[in-house]
Structure 1
Amino acid sequence: MDIQLEKLEIIRQLLETNDETIIASIKKVFTREPKDWWDDLNESQKEEIQLSLQEAEEGKYSDFDEFITPYLGK
């Protein structure tokens, strides 16, 4: 699929239409607010992240080297 050709075809179709609902729909796609990934999380996931952030602020974490060393057999 050539993206430039696809865009040109959409432009051609848009120029040829007088259907206000199509034009409004396209306009809506380009003007909507970007979706925040946080809104897609369930409450349990949000709580886990908030708890992890709180623990990190309190210094309750291990750096990657401390974490991975036991698994490397060192």
Structure 2
Amino acid sequence: MNLETRKLEFVQEFLKLQSEEVISKLEKLLKSERNSSIDYKSEPMSKEELNSRIDQSESDFDKGRFKSSSELLSKYK
């Protein structure tokens, strides 16, 4: 299935939605995705910044400061 077909199917399903809560969640997700894609496209990350982020992420993980994928997914159900 190509991207255009997927978009059309998504829009059709979206138009069927009756829940304001679900629509709000989708709006937030879209806004978040748009904002994050703008951030990454505006300026590439330097090698030093990437390594710094990796080090911070590993430190956070070692200290238990993370969420599992199931915890994140449950937030959007």
TM range (shorter): 0.3 to 0.5
| TM-score (normalised: structure 1) | 0.44
Greater relative contact order structure (CA < 8 Å, 6+ sep):
2
Which has the higher Rg, Structure 1 or Structure 2?
Answer: 1
